[in-house]
């Protein structure tokens, strides 16, 4: 579409663009705007205006849908017998806006206290949730977090508010204290924040408290208008429901870093890891994954690459393969900084390896030696065997860091495939694309 030599589109091609974006990014919904402008410039017919949705998209999406459904071409098309009637689906009892209240069974630190990272194993009870909470290995869990009470108090102190003020949110009136705790994102600065507070961003990655520190008193309704709604966080589920009926497990690294003289805390990761007491309740819902599941054919080999918290879905996969009695070979590539401090699920993984469920186990400890050993180092050291597994029909999955690890692992895979095929990178890319189209190459990266 964007190519300079893209041919014109017929005016009979009707379109309307609904963009899903996030106002905390500078180029809010730029992709949707570009596509909308391009379709128009190429001669297609816009039947309803572009709508740019923010994270909290329900109202904007509903308005866009109404406008599209009311447009003349849509009404005409829907009236023709060829257009199949939309399937009516029963809405699940629990979803993003109607979460199930799960209770925390336990939270145990997986990484050693001397590790640079605090990674927790979280177990939640889904008892009483019924079939609508049925999940499969590979699905994610949406979690509604609660903001840190110290941060809420710091905001009230900085603005000179008590928390007893009433503010009006989309969902209706609420006490400011409650709104700041559970309804509003009290960290992220968006363009709306700067506009409403009439301030400039003091530094990159500045948070709301950094702005309020110099602002002085703020009225409650202004504060509420400056903050966007709190959003749920999605975590890859790290348990198989067959191994843990009625429970769901997560593997969560606590986000903690210092910036501008203040420790910043990840909202959900520290709520789960440090603030929610055993028995405490938490709103959750299951976010189904389209294809990121263990192979349906239990005889097929499976290669899993998941350093750091990327291990999460693969613990679920291995529990699932074990519970199903799957005979296919399994190969796990895991790693982190130090073997002694960061070997998450060590006992379970070692037992799987000793017992034969894990045919191969490749562990990459990046800071134990003089040279960095990464998962792709071990992939390349085992290139011939990795390629042989692929030729035998293996599925290969990656989970974890999107920006660095996943692209470096993919580059290594392309080299391994090119070597195996004795061909160039283009041929390797075609091979990998074919695996992807068969859902045998999949990534859950964040």
Chain contacts with ligand NAP (rule: CB under 6 A):
117, 253, 307-309, 335-337, 366-367, 374-376, 400-405, 408, 446
Considering beta carbons, is residue 164 or 404 the nearer one to ligand NAP? 404
Considering beta carbons, is residue 390 or 405 the nearer one to ligand NAP? 405
CB of 341 to ligand NAP, least distance (A): 11
Q: How far apart are CA 173 and CA 77, in angstroms?
A: 42
Considering beta carbons, is residue 181 or 366 the nearer one to ligand NAP? 366
CB of 169 to ligand NAP, least distance (A): 29
For ligand NAP, the nearest residue by Cβ is 308
CB 330 within 8 A of CB 323: no
Q: HEC string of 2-67?
A: CCCCCCCCCCCCEECCEEECCCCCCCCCHHHHHHHHHHHHCCCEECCCCEEECCCCHHHHHHHHHH
CB 293 within 8 A of CB 138: yes
DSSP bridge pairs for 445: 400
List, in order, residues 6 or more apart from 231 with CB less than 8 Å away: 55, 56, 185
CB of 275 to ligand NAP, least distance (A): 20
- Total Cβ atoms within 10 A of residue 85: 6
Considering beta carbons, is residue 100 or 333 the nearer one to ligand NAP? 333
SS3 80: coil
Structure tokens, 197: 């507070």
- Total Cβ atoms within 10 A of residue 389: 21
CB of 356 to ligand NAP, least distance (A): 26
CB of 252 to ligand NAP, least distance (A): 10
Q: How far apart are CA 111 and CA 365, in angstroms?
A: 14
Residue 57 CA from chain centroid, whole number: 17
Considering beta carbons, is residue 358 or 405 the nearer one to ligand NAP? 405
CB of 25 to ligand NAP, least distance (A): 16
Considering beta carbons, is residue 129 or 310 the nearer one to ligand NAP? 310
CB of 61 to ligand NAP, least distance (A): 27
Q: How far apart are CA 257 and CA 263, in angstroms?
A: 6
Considering beta carbons, is residue 115 or 330 the nearer one to ligand NAP? 115
* DSSP code, position 237: B
* DSSP code, position 259: E
Phi, psi angles (nearest 5°) of residue 436: -65, -40
CB of 339 to ligand NAP, least distance (A): 10
CB 254 within 8 A of CB 274: yes
Task: State which H helix or E strand residue 106 sits in.
Answer: strand 100-109
Considering beta carbons, is residue 14 or 309 the nearer one to ligand NAP? 309
List, in order, residues 6 or more apart from 241 with CB less than 8 Å away: 134, 135, 136, 137, 247, 248
Considering beta carbons, is residue 136 or 373 the nearer one to ligand NAP? 373
CB of 377 to ligand NAP, least distance (A): 8
């Amino acid at each position: 579409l964007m190519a300079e030599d893209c041919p014109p589109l017929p005016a009979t091609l009707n379109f309307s663009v609904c963009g899903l974006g996030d106002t905390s990014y500078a180029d809010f919904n730029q992709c949707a705007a570009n596509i909308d402008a391009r379709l128009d410039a190429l001669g297609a017919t816009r039947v309803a205006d572009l709508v740019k949705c923010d994270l909290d998209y329900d109202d904007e999406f509903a308005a866009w849908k109404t406008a599209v459904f009311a447009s003349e071409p849509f009404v005409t098309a829907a009236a023709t017998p060829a257009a199949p009637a939309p399937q009516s689906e029963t809405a699940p009892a629990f979803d993003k806006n109607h979460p199930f209240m799960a209770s925390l069974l336990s939270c145990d630190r997986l990484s050693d206290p001397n590790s640079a990272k605090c990674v927790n194993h979280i177990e939640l009870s889904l008892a009483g949730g019924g079939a609508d909470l049925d999940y499969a290995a590979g699905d994610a869990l949406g979690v509604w977090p609660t903001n840190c009470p110290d941060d809420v108090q710091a905001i009230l102190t900085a603005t000179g508010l008590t928390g007893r003020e009433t503010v009006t949110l989309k969902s209706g009136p609420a006490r400011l204290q409650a709104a700041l705790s559970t309804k509003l994102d009290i960290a992220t600065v968006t363009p709306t924040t700067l506009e409403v507070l009439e301030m400039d961003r003091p530094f990159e990655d500045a948070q709301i408290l950094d702005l309020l520190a110099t602002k002085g008193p703020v009225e409650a309704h202004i504060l509420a208008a400056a903050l966007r709604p709190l959003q749920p966080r999605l975590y890859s589920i790290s348990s198989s429901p067959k191994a843990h009926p009625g429970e769901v497990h997560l593997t969560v690294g606590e986000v903690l870093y210092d910036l501008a003289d203040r420790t910043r805390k990840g909202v959900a990761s520290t709520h789960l890891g440090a603030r929610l007491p055993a028995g405490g309740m938490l709103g959750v819902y299951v976010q189904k994954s389209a294809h990121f599941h263990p192979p349906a054919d239990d005889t097929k080999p499976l290669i899993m690459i998941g350093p750091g918290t990327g291990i999460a879905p693969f613990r679920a996969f291995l529990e699932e393969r074990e519970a199903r009695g799957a005979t296919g070979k399994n190969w796990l590539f895991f790693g982190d900084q130090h073997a002694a401090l960061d070997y998450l699920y060590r006992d379970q993984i070692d037992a799987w390896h000793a017992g034969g469920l894990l045919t191969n186990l490749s562990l990459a400890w990046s800071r134990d030696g003089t040279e960095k050993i990464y998962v792709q180092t071990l992939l390349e050291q085992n290139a011939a065997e990795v390629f042989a597994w692929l030729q035998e029909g293996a599925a290969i999955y990656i989970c974890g860091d999107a920006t660095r690890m996943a692209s470096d692992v993919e580059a290594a895979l392309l080299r391994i495939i090119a070597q195996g095929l004795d061909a160039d990178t283009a041929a390797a890319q075609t091979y990998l694309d074919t695996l992807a189209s068969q859902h045998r190459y999949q990534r859950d990266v964040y």
